[in-house]
Copies of this chain bind each other. A is one copy, B any other.
């Protein structure tokens, strides 16, 4: 598996993409993205589990019912959530217009929207934007599509890897956005994963669920699970001769592709946490010694969502009691006297009590752009790695001043 420098969703063969300024965002920044497979492709998706869901999600579910899709149109600025029947009609219309321009069936097009909740889309602007974004499609347009998905993100998020699958050299690429309302299962996050491997829709769905569980579902900024979260995968088989109804991957091919999808999705999740609203540092929480992977993840997320841990990280404060406290209320059984905790590689807790450390030196180590918290539960062999960020003045400023 080889990382591709500046890789994205257009790194796999047979995909084009674009990102343009449609005029939805008052800021005049890019706000409309499109990715298209030039060949028939299988599709899969994972959505937010929030009971309140954006209109685009219902449309994606319908259009993916047959396991095929060729394009995803994405706008940022307005999320098309809590917009009633009009919102559902608008989401369908975005697909229909893109399909018409691309010469596809409406059901071959998926749609995502991200931004403020409860505001109707300016459909005249969106419609004319779709005409222009189709005209702007390029074979290297993936990074621009990533830009056009951004809301409060400060960096565009994209990656790709190349690997061998069942004898062919294939590529897996991804773009993603998300900087707040980020919490597992999932967040104000959108991501599109493309591959030129040939994968049946059912296998693609399995691969995506597995990759998401170890990437986006291990990433939290503020514990708020959004109404729009969507991860879409498209596989067009271009590197394997193309195929409308591809045969199953071999067991080894499946595992190889699973690792690649997990890898690019983890890069996206890590980038989202590192770009968390107002954050100054990325925090990686590694939980080992869990009885099961879900339990290890639950403990890691409990630490990652603790406002007290996150503010202490911002203040470079080695206040390990807050870490222990969050491990304790994770809802997982363990023996507090056996747990071991390290911060930035320094053992700080074990045998039921604190381990003396040089507070000044550890506070200095915490000033790095990336810090690590290791929790060994010593009750099993399962592990999980969680990405989050610190809680800062700027998070409060950004979110106290978002609409007014």
Contacts and interface: CB of A to CB of B under 8 A. Distances in A.
Interface stretch (A76-84, A191-199, A207-215): A76-84
A334 B311 CA distance: 34
A404 B363 contact: yes
A401 interface: yes
A319 interface: yes
B81 A321 contact: yes
B51 A328 contact: yes
Scoring A50, A117, A321, A349 by chain B CB atoms within 10 A of each residue's CB, the highest score goes to A321
A225 B327 CA distance: 10
A118 B393 contact: no
A223 B224 CA distance: 12
Given A326-B224, A404-B316, A117 B321 contact: yes
12 contacts: A51-B328, A51-B329, A52-B325, A52-B336, A117-B324, A118-B321, A118-B353, A311-B396, A317-B402, A317-B403, A319-B402, A392-B396
B395 A311 contact: yes
Given A317-B401, A317-B404, A395-B311, A117 B353 contact: no
Interface in A306-324: 306-308, 311-312, 314-322, 324
B225 A325 contact: yes
Given A319-B402, A329-B51, A404-B315, A324 B82 contact: yes
Interface in A109-123: 116-119
A275 B290 CA distance: 37
Contacts of A320: 117-118
B397 A224 contact: no
Interface in A164-210: 180-181, 183
B317 A82 contact: no
B396 A325 contact: no
Given A224-B329, A319-B403, A359-B404, A314 B396 contact: yes
Contacts of A354: 82, 118-119
Interface in A215-234: 222-227
A352 interface: yes
Given A316-B404, A321-B116, A322-B224, A83 B353 contact: yes
A352 B321 contact: no
A325 B223 contact: no
A333 interface: yes
A351 interface: yes
Interface string A51-90: 1110000000000000000000000000101111001000
Interface in A130-148: none
Contacts of A328: 50-53, 225, 227
Contacts of A319: 116-117, 402-403
A82 B117 contact: no
A41 to B, nearest CB: 31
B400 A351 contact: no
Interface in A349-396: 349, 351-354, 359, 363, 391-393, 395-396
A194 to B, nearest CB: 29
A321 B175 CA distance: 26
In the A-B complex, list the 4 residue pairs whose CB atoms are closest, starting with the nearest: A117-B321, A315-B400, A52-B328, A311-B399
